[in-house]
Amino acid sequence: MELVSLVISNDNIGQTTNLIKKAEWENVFIISNQDSLPIDKKYNLIKLNPENRLVDMKNDILKKLKGRIKGTEVALSIASGSGKEHMAIISALLSIPVGIRFVALTKDGVVYL
Protein backbone atom coordinates (compact mmCIF):
# COMPACT_ATOMS: atom_id res chain seq x y z
CA MET A 1 0.00 0.00 0.00
CA GLU A 2 1.09 3.57 -0.58
CA LEU A 3 1.11 6.30 2.05
CA VAL A 4 -0.16 9.83 1.46
CA SER A 5 0.50 12.22 4.34
CA LEU A 6 -0.22 15.91 4.81
CA VAL A 7 2.49 17.91 6.59
CA ILE A 8 1.80 21.61 7.14
CA SER A 9 4.37 23.70 9.03
CA ASN A 10 6.03 20.63 10.61
CA ASP A 11 3.13 20.20 13.05
CA ASN A 12 2.93 16.44 12.39
CA ILE A 13 6.38 15.70 11.04
CA GLY A 14 6.96 13.20 13.87
CA GLN A 15 3.72 11.36 13.08
CA THR A 16 4.64 11.14 9.39
CA THR A 17 8.28 10.19 10.01
CA ASN A 18 7.28 7.39 12.35
CA LEU A 19 4.52 6.15 10.02
CA ILE A 20 7.15 5.87 7.28
CA LYS A 21 9.52 3.95 9.57
CA LYS A 22 6.99 1.65 11.27
CA ALA A 23 5.34 0.16 8.17
CA GLU A 24 6.33 -1.09 4.74
CA TRP A 25 5.11 1.29 2.04
CA GLU A 26 5.32 0.75 -1.70
CA ASN A 27 5.59 4.49 -2.11
CA VAL A 28 5.31 7.57 0.12
CA PHE A 29 3.77 10.86 -0.99
CA ILE A 30 4.01 13.83 1.34
CA ILE A 31 1.83 16.82 0.55
CA SER A 32 3.32 19.90 2.17
CA ASN A 33 3.63 23.66 2.00
CA GLN A 34 7.40 23.30 2.50
CA ASP A 35 10.17 22.76 -0.05
CA SER A 36 11.85 19.96 1.90
CA LEU A 37 11.34 18.01 5.10
CA PRO A 38 13.78 16.49 7.60
CA ILE A 39 12.88 12.89 6.78
CA ASP A 40 15.67 10.40 6.17
CA LYS A 41 13.59 7.90 4.18
CA LYS A 42 12.76 8.22 0.49
CA TYR A 43 9.54 10.11 -0.26
CA ASN A 44 7.85 12.05 -3.05
CA LEU A 45 7.10 15.66 -2.17
CA ILE A 46 3.94 17.25 -3.55
CA LYS A 47 4.16 21.01 -2.98
CA LEU A 48 0.91 22.58 -1.80
CA ASN A 49 -0.03 26.24 -1.64
CA PRO A 50 -2.58 26.55 1.21
CA GLU A 51 -3.47 30.04 -0.04
CA ASN A 52 -5.01 28.61 -3.23
CA ARG A 53 -8.75 28.23 -3.58
CA LEU A 54 -10.11 24.80 -2.65
CA VAL A 55 -10.89 23.75 -6.24
CA ASP A 56 -7.48 24.90 -7.48
CA MET A 57 -5.76 23.07 -4.63
CA LYS A 58 -7.67 19.87 -5.40
CA ASN A 59 -6.91 20.07 -9.13
CA ASP A 60 -3.22 20.71 -8.45
CA ILE A 61 -2.95 17.69 -6.14
CA LEU A 62 -4.88 15.53 -8.62
CA LYS A 63 -2.57 16.55 -11.46
CA LYS A 64 0.54 15.74 -9.41
CA LEU A 65 -0.73 12.36 -8.12
CA LYS A 66 -2.65 10.98 -11.11
CA GLY A 67 -0.74 8.15 -12.73
CA ARG A 68 1.68 7.88 -9.80
CA ILE A 69 -0.56 5.85 -7.47
CA LYS A 70 -0.17 2.20 -8.43
CA GLY A 71 -2.66 0.45 -6.16
CA THR A 72 -6.41 0.66 -5.73
CA GLU A 73 -6.24 2.25 -2.27
CA VAL A 74 -3.89 4.40 -0.22
CA ALA A 75 -3.23 4.93 3.47
CA LEU A 76 -3.99 8.57 4.27
CA SER A 77 -2.70 10.57 7.23
CA ILE A 78 -4.27 14.00 7.68
CA ALA A 79 -3.27 14.69 11.28
CA SER A 80 -1.93 18.03 10.04
CA GLY A 81 -3.58 20.88 8.17
CA SER A 82 -7.01 22.41 7.90
CA GLY A 83 -10.38 21.23 6.67
CA LYS A 84 -9.78 22.97 3.34
CA GLU A 85 -6.56 21.03 2.77
CA HIS A 86 -8.19 17.78 3.93
CA MET A 87 -11.10 18.27 1.51
CA ALA A 88 -8.73 19.00 -1.38
CA ILE A 89 -6.65 15.87 -0.75
CA ILE A 90 -9.61 13.54 -0.22
CA SER A 91 -11.38 14.90 -3.30
CA ALA A 92 -8.22 14.55 -5.42
CA LEU A 93 -7.66 10.95 -4.28
CA LEU A 94 -11.27 9.98 -4.94
CA SER A 95 -11.03 11.60 -8.40
CA ILE A 96 -8.01 9.44 -9.36
CA PRO A 97 -10.00 7.15 -8.42
CA VAL A 98 -8.45 5.37 -5.45
CA GLY A 99 -9.86 4.14 -2.14
CA ILE A 100 -8.75 5.68 1.14
CA ARG A 101 -7.82 4.01 4.43
CA PHE A 102 -7.09 6.53 7.17
CA VAL A 103 -3.95 5.68 9.11
CA ALA A 104 -2.40 6.95 12.33
CA LEU A 105 0.46 6.02 14.57
CA THR A 106 -0.68 5.34 18.13
CA LYS A 107 0.93 3.85 21.23
CA ASP A 108 -0.27 0.49 19.82
CA GLY A 109 1.56 1.04 16.52
CA VAL A 110 0.20 1.75 13.03
CA VAL A 111 -3.59 1.74 13.14
CA TYR A 112 -5.99 1.87 10.19
CA LEU A 113 -9.12 3.78 11.12
Q: What is the pLDDT of residues 58-113, one digit of tens each?
A: 999 999 999 999 999 999 999 888 899 999 999 999 999 999 999 999 999 999 99
Domain locations in the chain? 2-112
**pLDDT at residue 11 above 90?**
no
User: Under 8 Å CB-to-CB from 1, ≥6 apart: which residues?
Assistant: 25, 26, 71, 73, 74, 75, 101
What digits encode the pLDDT tens for the residues 25-55?
999 999 999 888 888 888 999 999 989 999 9
| CATH value of 2-112 in 1.10.10, 1.20.120, 3.30.1180, 3.40.50 | 3.40.50
